[in-house]
Chain A
Amino acid sequence: MIIDVHVHSGQWLNASGAEVKTLIAKMDASGIDVSIVNSPKALTEQNPSGGNKEVFEIVCQYPDRFMGMAAVNPYHGEIAEKELNKCLSHYEFKGLKLHPWIQGYPAHSEITYALLDICEGYNVPVLFHSGTPPYAQVMQIAYLAHKYPRVKFILGHMGLTYQWRQAIEAAKIYDNVFLDTSGITYPFAITKAINEAGVHKVLFGTDNPFLDPQLEILKIKNLHLKSDQWEAIMYKNAEKLFLKG
């Protein structure tokens, strides 16, 4: 069983491969059972509902293969709050994705607070892109985790090449900070995260279709984990976080 917590669907900029059939083909080729999918378009487009609706339709069409994650633009204010509420209630999405550098605000900006309040109310995690200065710094997100101890935060890409060390520290300090493995290409950093922050803090993710799931799985296989560690990272932690609150 493999759950991928970091997946995108729908056309965005010039990215290809986000059509549902291609996503499923890639999941099948690399043994991924379930993808938790969000819409990059919903992060930035003027119409706040289109991208999330597309995700909802994919989940309805393939309920065994996908779970939905909302994406909204905090600059839309009350419209974004309304959209997020709809996603978490009507669509039964399992979390919120925010991407501060693409959306153009510092991760710890007050404009995210109302959305975090909503996530706290529904007890769903928030996945942040992390590791990119100046707007998506790990410690900006750690500051939010400090301020919102009941909201669970996933540091997407676990801080990437230059902020993985801070990401591990944040996951050690804050019970509500988790790390996803997508995009980071330093195997020793993932091993360190498991050893120092704990295997329960690490979630498998691919960033499919922007990154290749085959590579992302190869990276974890080559860590030669014990079977209980593999199971925790590849699906059990995600089940706990997204399905059992």
Chain B
Amino acid sequence: MKIIDMHCHIGKDIDVEVTCRGLIKIMNKYKVDMAVISPLGKGLIHEFKQFNQQIVQCVGENEGRLIGFCSANPWFENAVAELEKRIVKDKCKGLVLHPAKQGFHISSPLIYPLIEECQSLEIPIYFHTGTSTYDLPLDLSLLAAKFPKTIMIMGQMGTSDYWMDVEPAAKLASNLMVETSVNPNIALIQKLVKNIGAERIAFGSGFPFTDLEYEIKKIELCNFSDREQELIMFQNASHLLGVR
């Protein structure tokens, strides 16, 4: 079965680090066909242009294996221009926003210009979710309902603590997709498949913060049908990102 990992990074953060080559090596080890890569650490904050460039370069060096998601800090005036350049010229497939690290509340009008740009470019937005105050799943549903034409990905399923809000958020906004990394809750993923459908769930690992083997095993232990497993591990991401 083919695998697309919707949530990986390259670069260096305070506690973890991985190179482009290091990521490919671990993808090979665990038979991950393609991975979405996005900036981390400073690359989400003031050095997003430099980190985006690294992403584009890494994707270019590994054609067919990696998919770039750029970031742009909404506090910076050049954010929209940077987004447009990375999508149109450099063929990134989506935008990553991390409210807690970039310092804005997920329903703040500060990010409307970026979201409007994503809407006109017809690209999805990946949001880290689950940090108290900044990026709660239900608050994301409010934003998603305001911009119904844009697919928004609820990264890390609300992380550990907000598991109880994931399904209600998905029910409030049909343009929300759920990405499975970091949150260890198998029962939650099973419940989501049953109640919102496997079509709205995409596998992600959160590597290098997490253990890729653990994250893949987590989905295996859900005992889904082959069809559900294929949707989650590959087809939903393939369809969303236009890759195969």
Contacts and interface: CB of A to CB of B under 8 A. Distances in A.
Given A157-B160, A160-B161, A211 B210 contact: no
Given A131-B161, A185-B182, A15 B187 contact: yes
B160 A161 contact: yes
Contacts of B218: 212, 215
Tell me the interface secondary structure of chain B in the complex.
Answer: loop
Contact of A210 (B187, B206, B215): B187
Nearest to B222: A212
Given A188-B16, A188-B209, A219 B214 contact: yes
Interface residues of B, number: 25
B235 interface: no
30 contacts: A15-B187, A160-B160, A160-B161, A161-B159, A162-B131, A162-B159, A183-B160, A185-B182, A185-B183, A185-B206, A185-B210, A185-B211, A186-B15, A186-B209, A187-B211, A188-B16, A189-B15, A210-B187, A212-B184, A212-B186, A212-B218, A214-B221, A215-B184, A215-B186, A215-B221, A216-B184, A218-B211, A219-B214, A222-B211, A222-B214
A240 interface: no
Contacts of A216: 184
Contact of A218 (B130, B185, B213): B213
A11 interface: no
A15 B163 CA distance: 13
B48 to A, nearest CB: 22
A187 to B, nearest CB: 5
B217 interface: yes
A166 interface: no
Contacts of B217: 214-215, 218
Interface in A112-164: 131-134, 157, 160-162
Contacts of B221: 212, 214-215
Interface in B142-163: 156, 159-161
Contact of B211 (A133, A157, A219): A219
A162 B156 CA distance: 13
B50 interface: no
A89 interface: no
Interface residues of A, number: 27
Interface in B125-179: 130-132, 156, 159-161
B214 A185 contact: yes
A133 B132 contact: yes
Contact of B187 (A16, A157, A185): A16
Given A131-B160, A215-B218, A210 B185 contact: yes
- Name the 7 nearest CB pairs between A and B, nearest first: A133-B132, A160-B160, A132-B161, A161-B159, A187-B211, A211-B184, A185-B182
A162 B136 CA distance: 13
Interface string B190-233: 00000000000000001001110111011001000000000000
Contacts of A133: 132
Contacts of A15: 187
